[in-house]
C-alpha cells in the first residue's frame, strides 16, 4: 500500500499531476495544429478577391452552425458539472451528466453529417467545383452522362460496357413484329434513346465551343425539365431541322402537368417553338420511368464559384479534423461510462483531462463558427 | 489578449484538482450563450461602411467566449503560474504563424488578378464563340 502513495505525488517542480501536465502540453501542440489550418483559411479568405461568400451557394447553414455552437457549449457545461460532481463523490450524478454529454456529442455529429450531406449532394467538394464557365458546362455534361448511363443500367441490367448495352437496347427496338404495336418496354427504350440523343448533342456542342453557359442553363431549364414522352404511334413531332421530337417533346407548364396527370388533352410548346397538341392517348403514361421524366431535375443548375475548390478544401480540413477531435473526446467519455458503478475517485484525473480536452474541442469550434459561418455573410458585398 | 494573472497564489499552492473554488458554471454557460447570440445578431447587420467594425466585433466576441472557457471551464484562473510557462510559447508561435502569413494577404508581390473572377463581362465566352478553337 505504501508504494501506491507515489502515484499522485508531484515530482517535476510543477504543482500539478503528471497527467494534467501532459494534457496541457498536448493541448499546447493542438493550439498550433489548429492555428495552422485557421491561419491558412484566413489568408485564403482575405487574400483572394472573389472568395466564395454566398452562403446559399456554398451551402453553409448558419442555423445549423449556431445550433451546433449551442450544443457544444451546453456539453462543455455538462462536463464541468460532471467533473464537479466527481469531486464531491457524487458519481451517479457524474455519470448522468456524462451520458447527457455523449448525447449532445451525437447531436453535434448528426448536424455535422446533415451539413456534409448538403455539400456532397451539391458537389461542394474539393476538385468538383467549376471555377469558370467552361468547367460549369463540363459539369453539366458529366452530370447528364451519369444520369443517362444510370438509366441505361436500369433498363439493361448487367456488367456490360455502356456501348454494349446501348447496342443491345437498339436491337430490342428494331425487333418489333410487323403490324404490331410497340410494347411498353420498347417505348421506354425509345424514350431513353431520345435522352441519349439530347446528351450527345449537348456534349458535341459544348466540346465544339458552340454554347455559352447561358445557353446550357436555358436548355436545362426549358429543354430537359418536365420532359414528357409521347407515344410513337401518334403523329410524329418533327423539328424544323428534321430532328425527331417524339421523345423529347418540350416544357410543361404547371397546368399542363396537371392535365398530363389527369390524362386530359392539352397543347404544349416544344423547345423548338412549335405548338403541339397532345391527346391523352398519345401519352405513354403507364411506362414512363420516373427517372426519365425527372432527368432534368437531377442535373444541378450550373454555377461558377471562383476559389470554390480551395474553399471546400479548407472547410473540410477544418471541420473534419474538429469532428475527429469530437470522436476522440467521446471515446474518453465512453471509457469513463464503461466503468459503470465502478466509477470512483481514482478516475478524477482521467475525468479532468477528458474535460480539458473536451473544452478545447469546444474552444476550436468557438473560432470555427464565426470564421466559417458569420464572416462570409459579412464580407459578401465586397 | 492575455488574461489577468489574477490567480491567487494561495489557492494555487494547494495544487491538485480539489483546490478549485466553487464557480457558478451555469452563469458562465449563460454568458457563452449570450455571446453566441450576439455573433448571430451581428451577422444580420448589413452595413457596408461598418463592415470591418462588425468583423472586429465578431472576432472579439469569439475571443471573449474563448477566454470564458479557458478561465472558468478549464480552470486556468485557479492554476498556478505554470500555465504561462506552458501556454506562452505555443501562443507566441501561433501568433507568429499568423503574423508570418499576413503578407500573403496584405503585401502581394504578384499581381492579384484572378482570371476566374469576371470583373466586367458577365460571361467568359465571347459572342464569337462559334468559331472557337474546338476540335
Q: How is residue B70 annotated by DSSP?
A: I
Query: Which of B36, B39, B101 minimises the CB distance to A39?
Result: B101
- Regarding whether A216 and A143 lie in a shared domain, the answer is yes
Tell me what pLDDT residue A229 has. 47
Same domain, A218 and A124: no
Same structural domain, A166 and A287: yes
Name the residue with cell 432534368.
A296
Q: How confident is the model at residue B11 (pLDDT cuts 50, 70, 90)?
A: very low
Q: Write out pLDDT tens, residues B98-111.
A: 888 888 776 766 66
Candidate from A126-140, A210-224, A298-312, B115-129 with smallest mean pLDDT: B115-129
Minimum-distance CB partner of B116 among A132, A214, A359:
A132
Could you list the residue range(s) of the whole structural domain that residue A254 is in? 133-297
| pLDDT score recorded for residue A247 | 47
* Cα–Cα dist A342/A338, whole Å: 9
Q: Of A178-187, A202-211, A357-366, B23-32, where does mean pLDDT reach its minimum?
A: A178-187
Question: Same structural domain for residues A33 and A98?
Answer: yes
Contact A36/B97 with Cβ under 8 angstroms?
A: yes
Checking if the pLDDT of A176 tops 50, the result is yes
Please indicate whether residue A144 or residue A9 has the higher confidence score (pLDDT).
Answer: A144
pLDDT of residue A184: 64
More confident residue, B60 or A6: B60
* Three-state SS sequence of A169-187: HHHHHCCCCCCCCCCHHHH
In this complex, which of A39, A50, A373 lies closest to B114 when CB atoms are compared? A50
Given this model, what pLDDT does residue B9 score? 41
Q: Is the pLDDT of residue B129 over 90?
A: no
Cβ contacts (< 8 Å) between B114 and chain A: which residues? 48-50, 306-307
In-domain check, residue A6: no
Last residue of a domain, which of A237, A268, A297?
Answer: A297
Residue A35: list chain B partners with CB under 8 A.
Answer: 94, 97-98
Provide mean pLDDT across the span A148-159.
Answer: 85
Q: In residues, how long is chain A?
A: 382
For residues A62-81, give the mean pLDDT.
Answer: 95
**pLDDT > 80? residue A46:** yes
Q: What is the mean pLDDT of residues A17-22?
A: 89
Confidence of residue A70 (pLDDT cuts 50, 70, 90): very high
Q: Taking 70 as the threshold, does the pLDDT of residue A290 lie above it?
A: no
The CATH number of the domain where A36 resides is what? Answer: 1.20.120.80
∠ Cα A165 A167 A168 (to 5°): 65
**One domain for residues A194 and A267:** yes
A188 shares a domain with A286: yes
Tell whether A3 is covered by a domain. Answer: no
- Inter-chain contacts counted by CB atoms under 8 A, chains A and B: 184
Does residue A213 sit in the same domain as residue A235? yes
Q: Tell whether A267 and A172 lie within a shared domain.
A: yes
Q: CA-CA distance, A275 to A268, in Å (whole number)?
A: 6
Residue of A nearest to B43 (CA): A374
Among A279, A297, A315, residue at a domain's last position: A297
How many domains does chain A divide into?
2
Instruction: Answer yes or no: is pLDDT of A175 > 80.
Output: no
For residues A16 and B123, the model is more confident at: A16
Residue A278 pairs in a beta bridge with A266
pLDDT at A34 over 80: yes
Q: In the predicted model, is pLDDT for residue A85 greater than 60?
A: yes
In a domain, A2, yes or no: no
Q: Quote the radius of gyration of chain A (alpha carbons, Å).
A: 30
ipTM value: 0.72
Residue A181 belongs to some domain of the structure: yes
* CB proximity list for A190: less than 8 A, separation 6 or greater: A173, A182, A229, A232, A246, A247
Question: What is the rounded average pLDDT for all residues in chain A?
Answer: 80
- Residue B24 clears pLDDT 60, i.e. is over it: yes
Do A276 and A290 lie in a common domain?
yes
- Indicate if A276 and A318 belong to the same structural domain: no
Task: Establish if A10 belongs to a structural domain.
Answer: no
CA A27 to chain centre: 32
Query: Does the beta-carbon distance from A378 to B55 stay under 8 Å?
Result: yes
Grid cell digits, residue B98: 499568423
Given a contact cutoff of 8 angstroms between Cβ atoms, the answer to whether A101 and A358 are in contact is yes
Distance from C-alpha of B27 to C-alpha of A105, rounded to nearest angstrom: 22
pLDDT band at A149 (very low <50, low <70, confident <90, very high): confident
* pLDDT band, residue A274 (cuts 50/70/90): low
Helix (H, G, I), strand (E, B) or coil at B103: helix
Give yes or no: residues A315 and A288 share one domain.
Answer: no
| Range with lowest mean pLDDT among A91-100, B5-14, B60-69 | B5-14
Label residue A73 by pLDDT band (50, 70, 90): very high
Do B112 and A49 lie within an 8 Å CB cutoff?
yes
- Residue A275 belongs to some domain of the structure: yes
H and E: helices and strands count for chain B: 5, 0
Q: Is residue A11 part of a domain?
A: no
Mark out the alpha helices in chain A (DSSP H runs).
Answer: 18-47, 55-58, 62-87, 91-121, 133-155, 162-173, 184-207, 213-218, 254-261, 290-293, 295-298, 308-338, 348-369, 375-378
Does residue A169 fall inside a structural domain? yes
Domain-terminating residue out of A297, A326, A349: A297
Both A75 and A138 in one domain: the answer is no
Q: Is the pLDDT of residue A308 over 50?
A: yes
The region of weakest confidence among A70-74, A170-174, A243-247, B85-89 is A243-247
Amino acid at each position: 500500500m505504501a508504494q501506491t502513495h507515489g502515484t499522485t505525488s508531484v515530482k517535476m517542480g510543477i504543482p500539478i499531476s503528471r497527467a494534467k501536465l501532459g494534457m496541457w502540453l498536448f493541448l499546447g501542440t493542438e493550439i498550433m495544429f489548429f492555428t495552422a489550418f485557421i491561419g491558412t483559411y484566413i489568408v485564403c479568405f482575405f487574400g483572394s478577391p472573389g472568395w466564395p461568400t454566398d452562403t446559399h451557394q456554398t451551402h453553409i447553414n448558419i442555423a445549423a452552425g449556431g445550433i451546433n455552437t449551442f450544443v457544444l457549449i451546453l456539453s462543455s457545461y455538462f462536463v464541468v458539472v460532471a467533473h464537479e460532481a466527481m469531486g464531491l463523490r457524487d458519481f451517479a450524478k457524474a455519470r448522468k451528466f456524462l451520458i447527457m454529454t455523449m448525447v449532445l456529442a451525437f447531436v453535434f455529429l448528426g448536424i455535422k453529417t446533415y451539413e456534409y450531406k448538403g455539400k456532397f449532394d451539391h458537389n461542394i467538394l474539393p476538385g468538383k467545383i467549376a471555377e469558370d464557365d467552361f468547367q460549369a458546362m463540363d459539369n453539366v455534361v458529366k452530370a447528364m452522362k451519369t444520369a443517362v448511363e444510370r438509366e441505361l443500367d436500369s433498363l439493361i441490367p448487367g456488367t456490360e460496357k455502356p456501348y454494349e448495352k446501348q447496342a443491345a437496347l437498339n436491337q430490342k427496338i428494331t425487333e418489333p413484329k410487323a403490324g404490331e404495336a410497340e410494347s411498353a418496354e420498347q417505348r421506354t427504350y425509345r424514350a431513353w434513346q431520345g435522352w441519349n440523343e439530347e446528351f450527345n448533342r449537348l456534349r458535341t456542342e459544348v466540346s465544339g465551343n458552340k454554347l455559352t453557359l447561358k445557353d446550357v442553363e436555358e436548355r436545362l431549364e426549358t429543354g430537359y425539365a418536365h420532359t414528357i414522352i409521347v407515344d410513337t404511334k401518334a403523329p410524329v413531332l418533327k423539328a424544323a431541322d428534321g430532328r425527331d421530337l417524339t421523345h423529347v417533346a418540350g416544357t410543361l407548364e404547371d397546368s399542363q402537368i396537371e392535365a398530363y396527370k389527369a390524362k386530359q388533352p392539352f397543347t404544349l410548346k416544344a423547345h423548338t417553338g412549335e405548338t403541339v397538341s397532345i391527346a391523352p392517348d398519345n401519352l405513354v403514361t403507364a411506362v414512363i420511368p420516373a427517372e426519365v421524366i425527372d432527368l432534368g431535375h437531377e442535373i444541378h443548375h450550373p454555377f461558377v464559384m471562383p476559389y470554390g475548390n480551395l474553399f471546400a478544401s479548407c472547410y473540410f480540413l477544418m471541420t473534419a479534423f474538429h469532428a475527429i477531435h469530437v470522436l476522440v473526446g467521446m471515446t474518453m467519455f465512453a471509457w469513463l461510462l464503461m466503468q459503470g458503478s465502478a466509477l470512483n475517485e481514482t478516475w478524477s484525473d482521467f475525468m479532468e483531462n477528458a474535460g480539458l480536452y473536451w473544452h478545447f474541442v469546444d474552444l476550436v469550434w468557438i473560432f470555427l463558427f464565426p470564421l466559417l459561418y458569420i464572416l462570409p455573410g459579412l464580407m459578401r458585398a465586397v | 489578449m492575455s488574461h489577468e494573472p489574477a490567480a491567487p497564489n494561495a489557492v494555487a499552492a494547494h495544487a491538485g484538482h480539489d483546490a478549485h473554488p466553487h464557480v457558478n458554471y451555469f452563469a458562465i454557460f449563460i454568458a457563452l450563450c449570450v455571446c453566441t447570440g450576439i455573433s448571430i445578431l451581428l451577422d444580420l447587420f448589413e452595413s457596408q461602411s461598418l463592415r470591418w467594425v462588425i468583423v472586429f466585433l465578431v472576432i472579439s466576441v469569439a475571443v471573449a467566449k474563448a477566454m470564458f472557457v479557458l478561465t472558468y471551464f478549464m480552470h486556468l484562473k485557479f492554476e498556478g503560474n505554470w500555465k504561462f510557462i506552458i501556454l506562452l510559447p505555443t501562443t507566441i508561435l501561433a501568433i507568429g504563424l499568423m503574423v508570418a502569413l499576413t503578407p500573403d494577404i496584405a503585401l502581394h508581390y504578384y499581381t492579384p488578378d484572378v482570371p476566374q473572377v469576371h470583373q466586367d463581362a458577365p460571361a467568359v465566352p465571347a459572342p464569337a464563340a462559334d468559331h472557337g478553337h474546338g476540335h
